[in-house]
Homo-oligomer: A and B are copies of this chain.
């Protein structure tokens, strides 16, 4: 499964879980994604845990999903390739 749409507190969000082999690699991905977020001035939720990172994109201003969130999701995938 890739990106899923989740509704939280009435807000539609794009979410995907990325798996890693330990905490260190998960945190490294979080930092890569953080750099992308700063560059594009759009910031996701990034849940870092041992061996996985859950990424959540949505647009705060419209309390939902905008085309931009799908673009950011694709860019997130590109970080791994």
Interface-centre pick from A38, A44, A46 (highest chain B CB count, 10 A): A46
CA distance A37 to B50 in the complex (A): 10
Query: Is A24 in the interface zone, CB < 8 Å from B?
Result: yes
Asked if B46 and A50 sit within 8 Å, CB to CB, the answer is: no
How many residues of chain A get a CB closer than 8 Å to chain B's CBs?
Answer: 17
| Interface contact B30-A48, CB-CB below 8 Å | yes
User: Nearest B residue to A35 by beta-carbon distance?
Assistant: B27
CB proximity of A32 to chain B, nearest CB, Å: 11
Is residue A64 within 8 Å, beta carbon to beta carbon, of the partner chain?
Answer: no
Instruction: Give the contacting residue for A46; candidates B24, B38, B48; CB below 8 A.
Output: B48
Those of A26-47 within 8 Å (CB) of chain B = 27, 30-31, 34, 37-38, 43-47
